[in-house]
Structure 1
Amino acid sequence: MSIRDPETDHDGPSPEALLPAFRTEDVEVKEDGRLVYYGRPTVEYRRMERELWPLFREHGYEVRLDVVNDAEKDPITGVAINTERQALVAEPRNVGVDGIPWTNIAMLAATVLTTLYAGTIWYYEPVNGPLDLLAGWPFAVAVLGVLGVHELGHYVLSRYHDVQASLPYFIPVPTFIGTFGAVIKMEGRIPDRKALFDIGIAGPIAGLIAAVGVAIVGLHLDPVAVPPDVLNSENAIQLEIGYPLLLQFLAWATGQPLEYSDPSLVTSPVVFGAWIGFFITFLNLLPVGQLDGGHIIRAMAGDRSETIAALVPMVLFGLAGYLYIFANVGFNAPVLWAFWGLIALGLAYVGPATPVFDEPLDRKRMALGILTFLVGVLCFTPVPFEITGI
């Protein structure tokens, strides 16, 4: 690291420009490009942030108030003394992609393989070599397409609002689904409620449109024949899918069946790919914490969103208990909703993202948010799936 003249030797705001919100004692330029303004705030934190965040953003930095451990030598003994000092830590902003995103590429490649493998299960194809995985490509394209469009919706709106965000990270899992979804990492502060709302809602809307398109295509595809050895096997398992109202409506509107009276025929796996999209849309729209629904409700309701978020775990635990005690279902659905109740509890504890400027939303966005939550309810099914023996 190197100590430089705080007046001239860096490209961040000058110490005088931070007054009266923050009084600077000295500035340190780190080797990684960070600027550390040692000093003390002279106003309440939120007010200081609203005054200084736009200034640092104009200079190409994200800033936060932090407590920094600073080692200084005693002038008499020469012994290093660790002291804690308040400081504004400014990190260089980079909204675009910096270099080749090898981690994103590797995780996407792995997820392609796991979804191809899952697709071969749905098409009842044996896997005796790598090329046999290609049999599952329609399912893989359906799932990755819906997830990718969802996350790119977030990414595009992040770029639009000049907020730092990573490319999507796909999560590979070798199961009958092939993935645990995809996420993007928000690396910058959200300017205001409009940006928080737009970024939060863009993913569910984009993913929902993609899922509807995939469902319509899948409903028009031929059903898959279950091989006799699988149908008659004592060791085979049966996966019964609970279809949400939106998917049932699409089947009715297109005149295509979701289920067949002939047990040897099952709906195209592409439809199941759409089902995954609808299910993920519902989960993401839960109005709690850092989920998409949490961002949307925080933008719509402000601090009152924390009260709403606190109710979400109770509702999920209540649903799990009701299904376990009163409904004639197996353990899968109660365990699933209890698991998500625990996740919601943790997300509610962490809390939502807080924008720098907290002015209320306009009426159009409020209406769009309400409509999106209502459509999200149509993606819900109390018993998403049941795994039983044939």
Structure 2
Amino acid sequence: MADSDPPADGPPAEAFAGLFRVTETDVDGGQLRYYGEPLVDSRRLERRLWPLFRDQGYEVRLTSESNSEEDPFTGIEIDRTRHVLVATPHSTGIDGIPWTNVAFALLTVLSTLVAGARWYGTIDTVGDALVDPMAVLAGWPFALAVLSILGVHELGHYALSRYHGVDASLPYFIPLPNVIGTMGAVISMRGRMPSRKTLFDIGVAGPLAGLVVACVVTLVGLGLPPVPTPAIPIEFNYPLLVQWLADLTGQPIDYPAGMTVNPVVFAGWVGMFVTFLNLIPVGQLDGGHLVRAMVGERQATVGALVPAALFALAAYLYYVQHAAFNAVFLWVFWGVFTMAFAYAGPATPIYDDALDTKRVLLGLVTFGLGILCFTPVPFELAL
């Protein structure tokens, strides 16, 4: 094809008149690439070209790349930066069996079964699972509860991604041989966010769906009999939401020495703690998406304040409350973690129009529910 001819199935260069001057086109690994010079600012360019490419099954992004050229007079290599419109095929379907997702899910089922068996006291250590594999099956109520909360949380994101036509992966569960048996679950957002509405809907669906299941799990666990205190050197403190659910059902959450709540209650605690952490309003966390959708670019200011707030909380616990080191370290760790999130920033919608009032109110309610899942000292290690 000629340098200025459109790639196969791509819009012709004439369609970009007044927006982008095309000098060369190419196809690379299924991507359509238009090289040239923007005639308007990048945000306006992407907004104008987005529907043109979307109608033909592509998502477009303006990027730049270095290109070395030899000066015809001196023969010296000169690095030049050129602009590229990169159009990627748009897809929201699942291509074949997601074997990686399946493998990680099965490993997480195993790791949460082991964690649950430890809470029920049928094994004392992870190594005991190798000696008596059948004892691990006793942990199934805890494993089912934890995986249900995490799975519904991520499937909430996935369902709204599909609804809005944004490409996203199925959930990836993360196995880990700790007292929970997992580091949670994530989905990969491969598509771009068309609008603040889309960003909000996808961001809010996970925490709300997961929290509903966490509350149901907690209510079920409160109705189950207590168990002997397992040989795990950790004590959990309950957020307001767990305390309110206990008051609502008239069930205790504190037992005499030697006994503790059913591990299913602990699974509900895990779900609420995960909900709070996800709602921290910074970067690519769910809370960061919500704030970006609700207040626009001012989210950068909020995101910059979050690490400072977490460091301040750690200092308060250490100097005023004289809390255990593990609580202080937890919030210092998350302070550093959120600094990285703040630097990376949240997703940027193509169309940055203000969010409607109903969604803003729902966002405020969601953050309020997140606060009910918070406790300054979530757990204490009995070392």
Amino acid at match of 1:383: V
Deviation string 1:270-293 (CA, Å, 9 cap, x unpaired) is 111110000010011111111100
Mapped to 2, the partners of 1:323 and 1:9 lie a distance apart of 60
Q: Following TM superposition, where does structure 1 have runs of at least 4 consecutive aligned residues deviating by more than 4 angstroms? A: 3-6, 69-76, 79-84
Amino acid at match of 1:190: M
Other-structure match for 2:287: 293
Aligned with residue 310 of structure 2, among 313, 316, 335:
316
Task: Kindly indicate whether the alpha-carbon contact (under 8 Å) linking 1:237 and 1:387 is maintained by their aligned counterparts in 2.
Answer: no
Task: Kindly indicate whether the alpha-carbon contact (under 8 Å) linking 1:192 and 1:359 is maintained by their aligned counterparts in 2.
Answer: yes
Other-structure match for 1:23: 21
Is 1:366 aligned with 2:364? no
Task: Kindly indicate whether the alpha-carbon contact (under 8 Å) linking 1:287 and 1:309 is maintained by their aligned counterparts in 2.
Answer: yes
CA offset at residue 237 of structure 1? 5.1
Secondary structure in structure 2 of the residue aligned to 1:47: helix
Count how many residue pairs are aligned between Structure 1 and Structure 2: 377
Aligned with residue 194 of structure 2, among 183, 186, 191:
191
Mapped to 1, the partners of 2:318 and 2:6 lie a distance apart of 68
Mapped to 2, the partners of 1:75 and 1:91 lie a distance apart of 35
Other-structure match for 2:122: 125
Other-structure match for 2:151: 148
Deviation string 1:145-191 (CA, Å, 9 cap, x unpaired) is 00000000000011111111111111111001111111111111101
C-alpha RMSD of the superposition: 2.2
Is 1:58 aligned with 2:55? yes
Aligned with residue 376 of structure 2, among 379, 382, 387:
382
Length-normalised TM-score, structure 2: 0.93
Mapped to 1, the partners of 2:4 and 2:251 lie a distance apart of 70
Task: Kindly indicate whether the alpha-carbon contact (under 8 Å) linking 1:6 and 1:28 is maintained by their aligned counterparts in 2.
Answer: no
Is 1:248 aligned with 2:217? no
Deviation string 1:128-152 (CA, Å, 9 cap, x unpaired) is 2333321111111111100000000
Is 1:138 aligned with 2:160? no
Which is further off, 130-139 or 80-89? 80-89
Matching of residues 271-290 of structure 1 within 5 Å: 271-290=265-284
Other-structure match for 2:37: 40
Sort the Cα spacing of 1:216 and 1:21 in 2 relative to 1 into closer, same or farther, 3 A. Answer: same
Sort the Cα spacing of 1:307 and 1:9 in 2 relative to 1 into closer, same or farther, 3 A. Answer: closer
CA offset at residue 388 of structure 1? 0.8
Mapped to 2, the partners of 1:269 and 1:144 lie a distance apart of 14
Task: Kindly indicate whether the alpha-carbon contact (under 8 Å) linking 1:149 and 1:203 is maintained by their aligned counterparts in 2.
Answer: yes
Task: Kindly indicate whether the alpha-carbon contact (under 8 Å) linking 2:278 and 2:287 is maintained by their aligned counterparts in 1.
Answer: yes
Mapped to 2, the partners of 1:353 and 1:67 lie a distance apart of 19
CA offset at residue 82 of structure 1? 7.7
Amino acid at match of 1:336: L
Task: Kindly indicate whether the alpha-carbon contact (under 8 Å) linking 1:333 and 1:383 is maintained by their aligned counterparts in 2.
Answer: yes
Is 1:268 aligned with 2:271? no
Mapped to 2, the partners of 1:9 and 1:346 lie a distance apart of 38
Sort the Cα spacing of 1:300 and 1:9 in 2 relative to 1 into closer, same or farther, 3 A. Answer: closer
Identity of aligned residues (%): 57
Secondary structure in structure 2 of the residue aligned to 1:293: helix
Mapped to 1, the partners of 2:374 and 2:191 lie a distance apart of 32
Is 1:353 aligned with 2:351? no
Is 1:180 aligned with 2:183? yes
Other-structure match for 1:88: 85
Mapped to 1, the partners of 2:23 and 2:206 lie a distance apart of 44
Mapped to 2, the partners of 1:49 and 1:64 lie a distance apart of 7
Other-structure match for 2:126: none
CA offset at residue 67 of structure 1? 2.2
Mapped to 1, the partners of 2:376 and 2:69 lie a distance apart of 61
Other-structure match for 1:102: 99
Sort the Cα spacing of 1:9 and 1:345 in 2 relative to 1 into closer, same or farther, 3 A. Answer: closer
